[in-house]
Structure 1
């Protein structure tokens, strides 16, 4: 399958013309009067790209590409604003070369060369950043290379005794899962970008997986990380846990390529699940649904899925008529009836109702789904393709996420919704704001907001940027985090700078100077 140069995923899986027309008709009912005229992406060869300022040394030339489309494809991530700018042919910052190392020695050689010449290096991962993390949005006279590690994609070793695997950082989600499958194991990490994002990218951005509770951030699954920096390589010791000072892994987790390039990691794996349970619970009272989710999160039941969708989100993406809770449990060790029965009992205590009983399976390959939960899961996987189709029709379709403690949730939800709605009113773009929980913890949820608005073709990037500023300020006022799992990148820097303690920023700057003394690694990420 061919990756789309401008949008999400593959060209084969993009919405067909008929699917896009049906989607546009549905949006037209939600937002009457919206201009939903379709706009086609430009021919990438017709987009002007500056001549490369960088010439690779002979020893590295076989790893480098200055192909026109290759450079354009590595000039942006997958946020709404990235997709729209590609549709408009707007590329203000394009890497001079795309470099694809095949080994750690190649990575070290590239960093040595770039350090000597002062060339900036932007680690690319799978290119699915939605926060400007892979875009060379900075001035750098010596040139910029995009470092793409997808040639380094092997599972190098499996330790069945300790249930861990050594995996190269360029492995895409499906690649690493297919290599673990013959051993009967899984990493059990499924972000929405699973098909197109890499292990190294997950580690560098502190990504969050699909599962709502338990080990769900990549942090929880890392046993040891090896990183190549301009000053050399460093690797933490494999340990189940340690109290020996600040963790070297924690320095690299979330560093977004500013401190070094992750080349491989020992990851905690587990047996593939055999038993699964799924149920969908409806709530006519959304606040009661929130209380039910909080009770479940604090119960110790640890559901694999505990996604709560407000009524608008449920209507758009699951065809439901009220707020719904998508519940799921899984295990490789035991059947799950008692866990699901107790979770359903909690929901009913808070006014929830089931249109059909929970579904249980005991096959290693069959997934238990039912009703609205199945519809929502299908929509979840198709959302990025639908976003692209709507972006080409002048719609503003974007998400932003945060996390807060339960005691602050009501104020945060109200403040963020009001800020988004006021921003849309001031811009004259009719739209709606939705909310769902992607992850829940005993002490708080991770609300994930969606904006669907009728924009003006040619101006939707600027319109979204104004909405983004409004909601970023609202999140900051409510003491939420500017990002729960999408990373900081360049888009979140203004709020990240205010969220972190100043002394921590100074300490992080010290680490940057030590590991990257010339400042070639992803300039502008995390630090000035």
Structure 2
């Protein structure tokens, strides 16, 4: 039963250089007010960059006539496909240094056009960068290098339909170019949801989630996109890989696992059968305050090892709680939420709050079962969570260095890891800029055996050298993560920015196998060169 794609925000203009919608960005006055919070920032904001001021060269290649109708050389579209949305990308755009702008952008409508474009690119030495919503924050959708004749950005967003729904098995066949809101709008009339909501939900696609093994908003249970995959359809230069729809299989290594997280380096994911579920009808949430952050960590660990399975179990350290407006008294805040499609969740919330109190938390009485946040701290955090990327861009216009990085480690390493990151990254930022930095932490996902800390760094930059400053800070952060055997990324992917850390984390025999797979599936080396492997 096919559905018709729709998106209520299609009429809103997307920013080519920064996060999200142009009408949601802070104006000059708000940018100046934000800059006042970080001593040493610019006196006035950098101007919003214009495509007309960019060095957009003439395309170095001409598409074949049979594909010309799905390919464009429009400068504005090409500029919008040149980078992702990391701090490095934003500040490079503001400084007029966007890097290599793709020669062409293609919007294929079906698998055959994707295959034809790959064949043409292989014959002509054209690098192909698969592109979904362009929300990468790790250099995953840009071309760095000079070994290819030209660069084609392969935008999948025209392939955005829910093609089929299997209500008996709770699954749906969905094209990979569907943005989050487009996907959910097609499932909603059937009372279904994919229930995968990353922070980039509005501006990222199913294919992007699959290619980067994205993590969703939910803290426990099925929160990673891997958990929802039933089968994949992938177009590679060597042919089309279509796995069987199965609830489970022990037949050798999983073919889907080869392409999940491959970041467009092995093939182009064009559609997938995904496990969907009924939309939740019962919700309840509350916040818990802690004066001792380490006791709060113990509480979260106990929750993660229980069978309560909270949908939200996000711990904010005092700095993060202050930044989001969840607390103003120096307390750490645990944001708890429960939801269900079948039964009330008040009892689970009450049990979780009792557990948190046993670890020193100050918790209110449970909120009534309802769709609204359980208290003002929950609402404040939720609003700040959605607004934060726009504020980051506003601070970037003031010359500040503001960025995030995330990781995951086992519980025995978490307390010392967080303390070391705060100390070492703060010291690196001070050394690089001469200004004290703010280094905040929150736990975004929790597991019985570990957790995913997510760090925010903010410091006044060196005017004109903001990218170099961030690279110095990020290198210090990567060193800390490696020393603690924490992953280089929990859900942001590898891209090009995390390659050094990924190379250290990846076992050498697996690297050999990955290179062999790359050579077999992409013999001309055109797919997203430099991502994951050379």
- How much does 1:68 deviate? 1.0
- How much does 1:319 deviate? 4.3
**Aligned structure 1 segments of 4 or more residues deviating by more than 3 angstroms:** 16-25, 31-36, 366-369
Structure 1 position 360 matched with structure 2 position 399: no
1:258 is aligned, of 257, 262, 265, to 265
Cα distance in 2 between the residues matched to 1:229 and 1:156: 21
Cα distance in 1 between the residues matched to 2:74 and 2:334: 47
Cα distance in 2 between the residues matched to 1:21 and 1:406: 41
Q: 1:352-377 deviations in whole A, cap 9, x for unaligned?
A: 012x4332335xxx343421111010
- How much does 1:36 deviate? 4.8
1:291 is aligned, of 290, 298, 302, to 298
**Compared CA separation, residues 147 and 33, structure 1 to 2 (3 A):** closer
Q: 1:462-518 deviations in whole A, cap 9, x for unaligned?
A: 101100000001101100000000000000000100101000000011111111111
**Compared CA separation, residues 411 and 422, structure 1 to 2 (3 A):** same
- How much does 1:18 deviate? 4.7
Could you say which residue in structure 1 is the equivalent of 2:401?
A: 396
Equivalent residue of 2:233, what SS?
strand
- How much does 1:456 deviate? 2.2
Could you say which residue in structure 2 is the equivalent of 1:341?
A: 350
Structure 1 position 187 matched with structure 2 position 187: no
- How much does 1:144 deviate? 0.8
More deviation, 86-95/482-491? 86-95
Equivalent residue of 1:266, what SS?
strand
Contact 1:417–1:433 (8 Å) recurs in 2: yes
2:79 is aligned, of 44, 62, 72, to 72
- How much does 1:22 deviate? 4.2
In the TM superposition, 1:16-165 aligns within 5 A as: 16-25=27-36, 27=37, 31-165=38-172
In the TM superposition, 1:354-433 aligns within 5 A as: 354=363, 356-362=364-370, 366-427=371-432, 428-433=434-439
2:18 is aligned, of 7, 32, 36, to 7
- Which blocks of at least 5 consecutive residues in structure 2 are unaligned? 1-11
Q: 1:157-216 deviations in whole A, cap 9, x for unaligned?
A: 010000000000000000000000000000000000000000000000000000000000
Q: 1:308-367 deviations in whole A, cap 9, x for unaligned?
A: 00000100112412100000000001001221111001100001012x4332335xxx34
1:325 is aligned, of 334, 337, 344, to 334
Equivalent residue of 1:78, what SS?
coil
Q: Compute the RMSD of aligned alpha carbons.
A: 1.2
- How much does 1:141 deviate? 3.6
Q: 1:281-332 deviations in whole A, cap 9, x for unaligned?
A: 0000111100000000000111000000000010011241210000000000
- How much does 1:34 deviate? 3.8
2:529 is aligned, of 519, 523, 526, to 523
Cα distance in 1 between the residues matched to 2:519 and 2:368: 54
Cα distance in 1 between the residues matched to 2:205 and 2:520: 27
Could you say which residue in structure 2 is the equivalent of 1:438?
A: 444
Cα distance in 2 between the residues matched to 1:352 and 1:379: 23
2:179 is aligned, of 169, 172, 183, to 172
Could you say which residue in structure 1 is the equivalent of 2:4?
A: none
Cα distance in 2 between the residues matched to 1:49 and 1:140: 19
Cα distance in 2 between the residues matched to 1:291 and 1:141: 52
Contact 2:160–2:174 (8 Å) recurs in 1: yes
Contact 1:277–1:329 (8 Å) recurs in 2: yes
Could you say which residue in structure 1 is the equivalent of 2:478?
A: 472
- Which blocks of at least 5 consecutive residues in structure 1 are unaligned? none
Cα distance in 1 between the residues matched to 2:263 and 2:43: 36
Contact 1:228–1:262 (8 Å) recurs in 2: yes
How many aligned residue pairs are there?
520
Contact 1:446–1:484 (8 Å) recurs in 2: yes
Cα distance in 2 between the residues matched to 1:19 and 1:393: 10
Could you say which residue in structure 2 is the equivalent of 1:452?
A: 458
- How much does 1:21 deviate? 4.4
